[in-house]
Amino acid sequence: MPGAGAVRAAWLATAARIPTEEAFLVTGIDDFLYRQREIIDRVGWVLTLVVPSDDEPDDTAPFAYTVGLTAHDYPVLIIAGLDPATSQALLNDLASRVYDKGELFRHGQRIGDLVAGYDAVIIDGDSTEQLHPGGAIGRYGRDRVGLQQVVWPDRRGRFPWETAYALPPPCSR
């Protein structure tokens, strides 16, 4: 848990159809909500990246999630522990499948064409203190926000629930 005064930085990342240079750090809630709505209106979703503050433990993972899919009765997609560019690419790929093609993911579904050489797995769940899609909950309400986490394997293709799973090297901040 962050220490007193510690603030996680939230970045709005662009969706696949908006130039990367439009990604930006937001500084206040009004700016955050305005820019979030602007991208959702143009594209259908926006990504929010959350990076740990300097006051948090070194093993606190960054995470990213979608906002906007809930308006169309789809769950928030969330991924943790990857660098922002990788998170952005993977979530934009999945969000595009959901928003543009109506693809629905099932709990436990393996996705073999997302990460070269590995399967990712979709896990249904609830938000936690560590993985809290605050932008989506603030916009749509806790009762309306469903959550699907994209879980990625270690270098040997093992998942956290499998024996001998080894966490990947820490992501740089």
Rounded-to-integer distance, Cα 155 and Cα 170, Å:
13
Predicted confidence pLDDT, tens digits, the chain (173 residues): 333 333 344 455 555 444 444 555 556 677 778 888 888 998 899 998 888 777 777 777 889 999 999 999 999 999 998 888 889 899 999 999 999 999 999 999 999 999 888 899 999 999 988 889 988 998 999 999 999 999 988 888 889 889 998 865 444 33
Show the tokens assigned to 105: 């993911």
DSSP string, the chain: -PPTT---EEEEEPPTTS-GGG-EE--SHHHHHHHHHHHHHHHS-EEEEEE--TTS-TTPPPEEEEESGGGGT-PEEEEESS-HHHHHHHHHHHHHHHHHH-----TT-EEEEEETTEEEEEEEE---SSS--HHHHHHH-TTT--EEEEE---TTS--TTSTT--PPPPPP-
Give the model confidence (pLDDT) of 58-93 as tens digits: 777 889 999 999 999 999 999 998 888 889 899 999
Rounded-to-integer distance, Cα 171 and Cα 69, Å:
27
pTM for the structure as a whole: 0.81
Instruction: With beta carbons less than 8 A apart as the criterion, state whether 68 and 92 touch.
Output: no
Show the tokens assigned to 123: 């896990």
